[in-house]
Amino acid sequence: MSYQHKYVDGTNIHFPVGKVVCIGRNYAEHAKELDNPVPTEPLLFIKPGSCVVALEGGFAIPTERGSVHYEAEIAVLIGKPLSTKPSREEVLDAISGFAPALDLTLRDKQAELKAKGLPWEVAKSFDGAAVIAPFVVSSTFPDVTDIGIRLTINGEVRQDGNSAIMLNPIVPMIQYMAGCFSLQAGDVILTGTPVGVGPLNVGDELVLELSGVNRFESVVR
C-alpha cells in the first residue's frame, strides 16, 4: 500500500512524499542514555521518502536484522519551499502540519557502523523506517515550543517528551536545515527523540500521541 500524507480527517495532502530530514541527539537525556556526547552543532541525517509508511492499521518491522528500536518524535510537514536563511516567520508559514511519528532504527547495525565511523543509512533508511501518523493542521499548536510527544507500549508509557526541552527548538532547527539543503513541500522533519528508546517486538500494541490532541493506536506486525 503506497503512503500518502494526509490529515486526521482523512483528507489527502497533495504534496509528494519527499525526504525525511532527521536530527539526532536533540534531547540531552536521550543522548546520555545511548552514551553519546551532546553535539555542539545539530546532527542531521536524511531518510528517503521510500522509508515512509502509515502508522494506522499496524506496520511491519524487519525481523532478522538485529534489534529494531522505536524513537517517538514530533513530525513536522513542510508545505512550502525553504532554502538559504529563512526567517522565523517564513519557517512558521511553511509548516503545514504536525504528527506523531516513529524513527525506527536497526540499533545493533547502527552501533556497528558508529564504531567504524561509517554513515548510518543502512540502519536508518530501510523500507518502513519512518512511521508517520496523520497530521493535524499547524494552527493546532500555535506555540511550537510546547508540543508533547508520548509513546505507550503494551499499556506502559515509554517516552514522554516535549518540544520545550529540545536542544535545538523546532524553528531554529528548520532554519539550520534549510541552510544546509533546500526543503520542499512534502518533506517531513523528524525533530529528535526524548529519553526512553528501546526495542520493538512483533505484537507490541502502541499508542502514539501529540499533547493528547492527535492520539493513535497501532500494532507491530
> For Zn ion, which is the closer residue by CB, 7 or 176?
176
103 binds Zn ion per the rule CB under 5 A: yes
> For Zn ion, which is the closer residue by CB, 14 or 112?
112
Show the binding pattern over residues 54-73: x = contacts Zn ion (CB under 5 A), - = does not.
-----------------x--
Q: How many residues bind Zn ion (CB under 5 A)?
A: 3
> For Zn ion, which is the closer residue by CB, 103 or 187?
103
209 binds Zn ion per the rule CB under 5 A: no
- Binding range to Zn ion, per CB under 5 A, among 31-39, 132-140, 163-171, 191-199: 191-199
Q: Which of 194, 28, 169, 161 is nearest to 88 (CA)?
A: 169
DSSP-assigned states of every residue in 171-208: HHHHHHHHHHS-B-TT-EEE----S--EE--TT-EEEE
Q: Which of 144, 191, 164 is nearest to 21 (CA)?
A: 191
> For Zn ion, which is the closer residue by CB, 96 or 193?
193
What is the sign of the dihedral through the CA atoms of 84, 78, 71 and 144? positive
159 binds Zn ion per the rule CB under 5 A: no
- Binding range to Zn ion, per CB under 5 A, among 52-60, 74-82, 117-125, 188-196: 188-196
> For Zn ion, which is the closer residue by CB, 71 or 187?
71
193 binds Zn ion per the rule CB under 5 A: yes
Show the binding pattern over residues 117-156: x = contacts Zn ion (CB under 5 A), - = does not.
----------------------------------------
53, 131 contact by CB (below 8 A): yes
d(CA 204, CA 221): 8
- Binding range to Zn ion, per CB under 5 A, among 56-64, 78-86, 98-106, 208-216: 98-106
CB of 2 to Zn ion, least distance (A): 24
26 binds Zn ion per the rule CB under 5 A: no
> For Zn ion, which is the closer residue by CB, 163 or 193?
193
**Do strands 20-24 and 188-190 pair parallel, antiparallel, or not at all (unpaired)?**
parallel
d(CA 162, CA 81): 26
Using CB under 5 A as the criterion, which residues of the chain lie in contact with Zn ion when the complex forms?
71, 103, 193
